[in-house]
Structure 1
C-alpha cells in the first residue's frame, strides 16, 4: 500500500510540475483593452478568451518554451513566445483589416478572407456592436452586394444577385449549421426565429451559387450565422433596447427588445449556455388603396369592380347582367329587366387590411446548448435546442398574418478539428396564422352570401335606373342597398365573425393557415488535411434530408395524410497551394439526388493568386454550377388564393387537386350540368395562356411540369491593400437554364383547348378559372453584375467605407411573355459608412447611408414600381468600463422619407432607440 501511495504522489507531482500558468492583458495601439480576444496554444485546441477588461488567465499542461497565438476580429494576429510562467504579460494587437479575418464558409475550412476562392462578406462582432441598425440582422443591409427586402418590422428577407421575393427559396440561411427555413414554406422568416444578438459569434455571407459544397438550395447565396461556444465565452450578459417606431399611417408606437445570455464551463470537459430574447412592437401599416386589375393599376374606389391592393373581400366579383338574367329566370325581376343592367363586372365591398390585422410584431427566442469534451481536447459533443415563436406579416400570393408561429430545432453534433457529424430536426406549427384576403372574403360571406348580395345589388340598380338615375349614381345606390347591415370593424358582431373565420382552415368558409410540417437533416464532413497536407487539402462529405408535409389539405394536397419525400448529396473538395504558396487551386464537385428527379452534378473550380512583394494583392477566378430542386410548394401545393388557384406539378399531385365550380346559365345549357369538376392536371394539359386571352388571341399554354433549375456562374475578383486603402471588387455572369417560376393560365370549365368550339364558348361565357402553374422557362435567362468596395481611415482613426453594386438580368419577355422571373432587384445601389469607435475616451459613433435605384417588383401578390430611396441611419455609444456596460442610442431612416422595398407592403418609417448592453464580450 505504501508503494502504491508513493507512486501516486510521484505521478501527481509530475502532473503538477508540468502545468504552466500565464496571465496578462491584451490591448490595442491606444492601450485600450480588447475584450473577447482569443489566446490559444499553437498546434493545439487549448485556449481562452479575454474578459471585458482584456484580462486572461491560461493554464496549460505544457512546459516552456511554447508559443501562444493571440487574435481578435479587426486586429492582426500575433504569436507570442512563452519562456516561463508569467502573470504580467501585456500583448498589443495592431488594428488590422477585413482581409485578415478568418472565415470557414467559402471552403468549409478556416482561411483568411484575403485568400477566399470566391466572394465572401463577413459581419463580425465589431461590426455587430457598431451597426447603426436597430439589430444586427438589419445591419447586414450595409454589406456590398446584399439586398434586404422588408416584409414587416420583424421579417426581413436577405438576397444577393437578383431574383428576390419574400418566398426566397434560392437563398439559404444556416444557424450553427442548421437550415433555418420553415419546412412548409421552404424559405427563412428572416431572424424572426433565428439567433439572439448576444450569442452571435460571426456572420458570413457567400453571394452566388454554392451548390458544390452546400447542396440544392444554395443557389443564389448562403448566409452563415455561428454562435459563441460556452467554453470560450462565459458569464452572464444582457441587453435592453427601447424606443419608438414612427410611420405616417400608424403614428408613433412603443418598441422594445431585450435579451440575456448565460454561459458557464463547469470544467474543461463540460459547458452549457442558454439564451433568451423578446421583441415587441407595432408593424408597418400597409394602406395602399390603389385599384389592381389584371396586374395593371387602374381606377379608383368609385369603380363598380374596384379591387384595392391592401383591401380584401373585393376580389369577389361577377357580371351583373348575368345576375339579372338569373333573377329574371327565377321570377324575382320582370322579363326584360336584365336589359337595364350593364354588361360589366361588379365586386363586393372589401375591408381595409388595418381592419383585419392588429399589426402586432413580436419575436420570442430561446435556445440552450450542452457541450461535452470527454477527452478535454478538440473532440466535442453538442446538443442544441432552439425554440421560437413569432408574430409578423408575410406577403406571398396573399398577405398573411403570421400569429404565434412556432418553430423548433433540435441538433446533435459530434465534431473535432477534422470532422463533424450533425443531425437535426425542424418542426413548425403555424399557430393562429391566417390569410388576410380570405378573412375579408369570408367575413362578407358569413354576413351575407354572394348570391344574395349580388341579387340585391342587381335589383337596386334596376330600380334606380327605372327611376331615372344615371349609371354612376345607380351603382352607388345599389352598393348602399346591398351593404345595408354590413358588419362594421370594431363592433362585437364583426369580432365574432372575425374569430369564426380566422379559426376555420377551410378556405371556402375560413382563412386559418394550418401547418405542422417537419424536415429531418443529416450532414457529415471529414477533412483529411492532417493526413494529406504534404499533397493537398482533401475533404469529403454528404447530406440527407427528408420532408414531411402536413397541412391537413389546407395548403398542400395532403388530404389523406402527410406527404413525404427525400433527397441526398455527396461531395468532395481538393485544395492545393503552389508557386511559393501564391497560387491556390480549389476544385469541388457534388452529386445530389431527389427521389422525384434525376440526379445532378455540381462542379466548381477556382484559382487564386497572391501577388506583390508584400503579398497584398489577390486575384481570384471561379467557375461553378449550381442547381435547385423545386420547392415543396412548387411540387405539392393545392391552394386557392383568390386571384388564382396554385397547383404544384409533382406528378402525384396533379390528380389530387379536384375542385367544383358553378357554371353560367349558358354553360349549363351547353353541358347539361350546373357544375364542373376541374383536376389540377388541366392547368398543365388543358389551358389557355392568360396573356394570349387578354390580348384577344387565345392560344394553348403548353406548360411543362417543373424540373430542377440550373445555373453556370463565372466570377472574377480582386482583393488587396494599397497603402491605407482596402479594395474588394468582383464581377459575375450567370446563365440559368430551366429557370423555375410560375405561369398564369386560364382553364376552361368545359371543352378541350384547341377543339375550336366548346372551350372557346367557355371563354366567351366566363366559365374559366385562373390557375398558377409551376414550370420552367424554355428561354435561357442571364444575369450579370459586380461590386466594388473601398475601406480606409481618414483624419487619423475615422473609418470610412463606400461600396457600389450593379445587378441586371438579361431576359427577353417577347420570347416567353407568360413567364415571370421575379427579378425584383435595383440595377444600381450605393452604400457608405462613416464612424469612429473612439472619437474620444469611451465614446464612439457610426453612420450609414444607402441609396437604391428604382426597380419593378413582380410577384404573385401584385406588380408595381418601387421608387428609388435614400436611407440614413446613425448611432452613438458610450462605454462604462467599471460597469462593463455600453450605452447606445440610434435612429434608422432619420431623414424621415418613408419608402418601401416591395410592392404591396407597408411604407417603412423611422425607428428611434436607446439601449444598454452589459458584459457583452
Structure 2
C-alpha cells in the first residue's frame, strides 16, 4: 500500500473517479471468437481490445446508462447499451468491410478511427499478420502501400517511404512499444534485429512522409510503430516453429529455421508479466556482383579492376609513379629509372582482391529476448507501470560506404514507463556492442598487406611489366605476366595461411593492419505526453516533449572519439502541443500542432502541422483530408562526428569541433612537396577537407587530361566551396480521400514536398601541400601556392574525403497512391494499390551532389486471399511489381531492374490444438532480383510453420 500511495503522490493523473466495469465477449456470426476487436465507450476515444478468446473487460468513469461500440477489421460495428455496473455483454459482429472504423493511435498520438486520421496511415493487424505470405510479419510490410523495402541481407531490411531510400535510412524512424530502436552509433534502424516477435505483435502502423510535428527530427520521411501484446489482454503460452529452405544460384539450397515462444500471465488485476524468445538462422544471399564499381563493362582481366563484391583491389596506384619510389629506395639505378619511366604506362593498377563470399561465413543468425513486468496500482488502466527489457543478438551484413559483417553484434534496450488513460511518461536507454564485427574492405586490403606490403607488390609488378615488355610482350600480356609474378605466394582462401591472416586482421581495430569494428555507444531518451480532454471540453489539447543524449564510443574506430579527445556526448530536446476540434455535427475535424526542437550544435527548429478532415455522405463514408506541415531533420551523429577511413576516402563529419578532432599524418613523395613540408610526411586535419580541397569531379577531370595538356587540365580544377552541415527542412503538402462504396474500400492520397538544405555527401580531394584555387596556373612556378597544389595532385600527394554538407539547390518530390480493397462472397478478399513517385533536382547547378532518390517511379502491389476457403483452410497470394530505377550511394551506383515478385501461402487450422499449419513460398517465379547495388541477389524461400496460440 505504501508503494501505491507513493506513486499516487508523484503522478496527479492517478486520481480516480467512480468507476463502471463492463466485461464480455465478441464473436462472429459463426460463433467464433474475434481477437483484437476494438471496444470503446461511445463518444470517447479510449478503449480496449479483445484477447485471443474474444473476451474483454473495460472500465470507465461514466455512469450507466451509456453505449459501448464494438468493431473489428472485416466486420460490421455494433452498439450495445450498458445499463448497470459489472454488466456482462455478448456481442456478435457480421462480416463486412469496415476498415475506416479501425482504431489507430499514431497519426495524432490519440486513439481515433482511421476515417478521422489527418494524414495517410497504413496498418497491419493481427489478422493481416496471420495471413501474410511472407516468412515474417516484418517481411510482409513490403506489401503495404507506400512501403519500399531495401534488402541489405536476409535479416537486415530497411523500410522507406516517399523517396530518397538508403540502407542506412536516417530519415525514417521505427518505434517498438514507444522506443526508438535505431542504432546509437549509426542512427538508423537495423531491421527487426531488436524488434518484436510474430506471435507478440498486436498492431503495426505506418505514417509515410514527414511526421516531425509530433515525433521530432528523425521522423522526417516516415515512421513505423510496432506495438506488442499486453499480458493483461493476451495470456498463455504461444509458440511457433518454422523450417524451410532458401534457394539461390550462387549459394544453392540451404536450410532455414525460425523458432519462437511467448509466455504471458495475468496474476491478478494488479500484476502481469510476459517473456519472449525467438531464434532464426539460415544462409545469407551470397553477394557475387563482380562488375567494376565505376567502369561499365570492365572485368577482372583489367589491370585496374575494382569489383563491387571484391575487397582488397581498392589498393591502386599509378604504375609509372612506382619507378620514382624504386629509385628513392635504391632498388633501381638512375639508368634503370629512365628505362622504367619510358616503358611503364601512365595508368593505375590495382592489387588482386578477395571475393566477399570468402570473407564471411555467409550465415545469418538472429536471437531476440524480451521480458516485461506490468503493474496496475489501482487494478485498472488508469495507471500502469511497465518495465521492459529487450535484447537482440546476431550476424548480418550491413552496407554503408563499405560492406560490413555484423558478427556477434548485440543491442539492448531497457524502459520504464508510466501510462494511463490520458498520459504517458517513459524513459529508456539503448546500448550496443559491435562484437566481432568487421569491415570487409579493410579485411581484404590487410590480408593482402599481411602477406606482402603494397609498396613491395607494386614494385614487383612494375619490374615484371618492364621485363615482359623488353621480351616483346604486348601491354595486355605484360599486365597479365606482372600480376602473376606479384601474386606469387598470395594467401588463398581455404589455406591455413589465409585463415591465420584473416583471424589477425578481423580482431584488430587499427585500419592500418586490421578491420574490426569497435562500438559501445548509448542513447538515453525520455518523453512524455498529456491529453487534457477530460479537463478541457472545448477542444482536445495535448502537450508533450522529449529529451535525448547521445554517448558515442567507437574508440576512435568510426568516430573521432579517440583517447586523445575522449568520448562524444551531445543532447537534443523538443516540446510540442496539438489541438483537435470537431465541428459541423462532427463531420469536420481540425488538427493543429507545432513542435520546437533544439540540438546542441544547431539552432532550434519549429515544425508546424495543420490538417482538415471532412466526412461527407449520409453514412459518413466519404472522407476528404488535407494537411500541410514543415518537417526538419537534424544532422545525424555520422553527419557531425564521423572520422572513418573507408579506404578510398575518409568519411568526415562537419561538427565544428570535429574538424580539429580528426588528424592524420600522411607520407609526402614529391621532391617539391618534401621541400615545402620540411620532411617526408605531413599532418592534415578536417579543415583541409572543407577549406583547402578540390571537388572530386574536377580532380578526376584534371587527372584524365594532365598527361597530355597540363595547362588545360589545371583550368578544370574547382575549389571546394561548401558550408558545414546544418538541418534540412521539408514543406509537405498532402491531400487524401478515403471511402467505402458498395463494399469497396478506397484510399487515395497525393503529396508534394519541397526540400531545402538537403543533406548529402560530397567527395573532395585535398592536396597535402599548396592552396586549392579555382583554375590555378601551373606556369607561375613552384613558389605559387596554386601551382604547388597542382604538383600535389599530379604526384598523388592527396587525401580524398567524403564530406557531409547541404545543397543550396531546392529539391522537390511528388507522388500519389491509390489503394482499393473488396471483400467478396464466400470469404474471398482482393486488394490492390499503386504508387507513383518522382523528384526534381537540377543536377547541372550542383554537379557533385548526389541526391540519391533511389525509388521506382511506378509500383503495383496486389493480393488475393481467403482465410476460410473451406473448414479451417485458407490461402493468400500476393504480388508486387516495381519499375526500374537508378541507385546512387557512397558504396556503388547502378541501375536496378524492374521486377515482379509473387509470394503465396496456404494454412490449415487445428482448433482442437489451437494451432495453425502454414506452408509458404516467396518469389515463386524464381527470377533473382536486387533492391540496391551491393547485396546478393534475392532468390526463393520456402517454409513450413506450426503456430500454437492459447
Equivalent in the alignment of 1:745? 764
Aligned partners of 1:44, 1:677: CA distance in 2, in Å? 63
Equivalent in the alignment of 1:455? 459
Aligned partners of 2:879, 2:232: CA distance in 1, in Å? 38
Change (3 A) 1:637 1:841: same
Query: Tell me, what secondary structure is at the counterpart of 2:262?
Result: strand
Is residue 584 from structure 1 mapped to residue 627 from structure 2 by the alignment? no
| Mapped contact 1:20–1:63 kept (Cα < 8 A) | no
Equivalent in the alignment of 1:617? 622
Aligned-pair CA distance for 1:912: 0.3
| Mapped contact 1:36–1:233 kept (Cα < 8 A) | no
| Mapped contact 2:236–2:265 kept (Cα < 8 A) | yes
- Structure 2 counterpart of 1:520, from 509, 516, 524: 524
CA-to-partner distance for each residue in 1:487-513, whole Å, 9 max, x for gaps? 111111111110100010111110001
Aligned partners of 2:579, 2:22: CA distance in 1, in Å? 40
Correspondences of 1:105-504 after superposition (within 5 Å): 105-293=106-294, 296-334=295-333, 335=335, 336-338=338-340, 339-378=342-381, 379-504=383-508
Aligned partners of 1:66, 1:887: CA distance in 2, in Å? 42
Correspondences of 1:35-74 after superposition (within 5 Å): 35-37=35-37, 49-52=50-53, 54=54, 68-74=68-74
| Mapped contact 1:237–1:919 kept (Cα < 8 A) | yes
Change (3 A) 1:784 1:90: closer
Aligned-pair CA distance for 1:482: 1.0
- Structure 1 counterpart of 2:509, from 505, 508, 511: 505
| Mapped contact 2:305–2:350 kept (Cα < 8 A) | yes
Q: TM-score, normalised by structure 2?
A: 0.92
| Mapped contact 2:693–2:772 kept (Cα < 8 A) | yes
Change (3 A) 1:90 1:489: same
CA-to-partner distance for each residue in 1:863-919, whole Å, 9 max, x for gaps? 111010000000111111111000111001010000000011110000000101101
Aligned-pair CA distance for 1:611: 0.5
Aligned-pair CA distance for 1:405: 1.0
Change (3 A) 1:50 1:698: closer
Aligned-pair CA distance for 1:632: 0.2
Aligned-pair CA distance for 1:319: 1.5
| Mapped contact 1:282–1:359 kept (Cα < 8 A) | yes
Aligned partners of 2:902, 2:208: CA distance in 1, in Å? 24
| Mapped contact 1:742–1:774 kept (Cα < 8 A) | yes
Aligned partners of 1:64, 1:833: CA distance in 2, in Å? 44
Change (3 A) 1:19 1:611: closer
Aligned-pair CA distance for 1:760: 1.4
| Mapped contact 1:46–1:377 kept (Cα < 8 A) | no
Aligned partners of 1:443, 1:855: CA distance in 2, in Å? 36
CA-to-partner distance for each residue in 1:317-352, whole Å, 9 max, x for gaps? 111122123223444234233123222211111000
Aligned-pair CA distance for 1:520: 0.4
Equivalent in the alignment of 2:15? none
| Structure 1, unaligned runs of 5 or more | 1-17
- Structure 1 counterpart of 2:943, from 905, 913, 916: 913
CA-to-partner distance for each residue in 1:367-405, whole Å, 9 max, x for gaps? 110110111122111101111112100010000001111
Aligned partners of 2:455, 2:158: CA distance in 1, in Å? 41
Aligned partners of 1:314, 1:44: CA distance in 2, in Å? 61
Aligned partners of 1:567, 1:464: CA distance in 2, in Å? 63
Change (3 A) 1:692 1:66: same
CA-to-partner distance for each residue in 1:445-482, whole Å, 9 max, x for gaps? 01111111111111222222222222211111111111
- Structure 1 counterpart of 2:746, from 727, 732, 736: 727
Is residue 786 from structure 1 mapped to residue 816 from structure 2 by the alignment? yes
CA-to-partner distance for each residue in 1:61-105, whole Å, 9 max, x for gaps? 999876554443433332323568888946334433321211000
Change (3 A) 1:889 1:605: same
Equivalent in the alignment of 2:711? none
| Mapped contact 2:243–2:258 kept (Cα < 8 A) | yes
Aligned partners of 1:717, 1:71: CA distance in 2, in Å? 24
Q: TM-score, normalised by structure 1?
A: 0.95
Aligned partners of 2:470, 2:805: CA distance in 1, in Å? 51
Aligned partners of 1:445, 1:194: CA distance in 2, in Å? 40
| Mapped contact 1:38–1:50 kept (Cα < 8 A) | no
Change (3 A) 1:452 1:528: same
Change (3 A) 1:65 1:776: closer
Correspondences of 1:698-717 after superposition (within 5 Å): 698-717=717-736
| Mapped contact 1:667–1:765 kept (Cα < 8 A) | no
| Mapped contact 1:262–1:275 kept (Cα < 8 A) | yes
| Mapped contact 1:202–1:225 kept (Cα < 8 A) | yes
Equivalent in the alignment of 2:895? 865
| Mapped contact 1:689–1:745 kept (Cα < 8 A) | yes
Change (3 A) 1:255 1:407: same
Number of positions where the alignment pairs a residue of Structure 1 with one of Structure 2: 898
CA-to-partner distance for each residue in 1:283-335, whole Å, 9 max, x for gaps? 11110111123xx4342211111111100000001111221232234442342
Aligned-pair CA distance for 1:50: 4.5
Correspondences of 1:538-577 after superposition (within 5 Å): 538-560=541-563, 561-577=566-582
Higher alpha-carbon deviation: 882-891 or 43-52: 43-52
Higher alpha-carbon deviation: 450-459 or 77-86: 77-86
RMSD of the alignment, in Å?
2.1
- Structure 2 counterpart of 1:891, from 915, 918, 921: 921
- Structure 2 counterpart of 1:844, from 860, 863, 874: 874
Aligned partners of 2:21, 2:607: CA distance in 1, in Å? 50
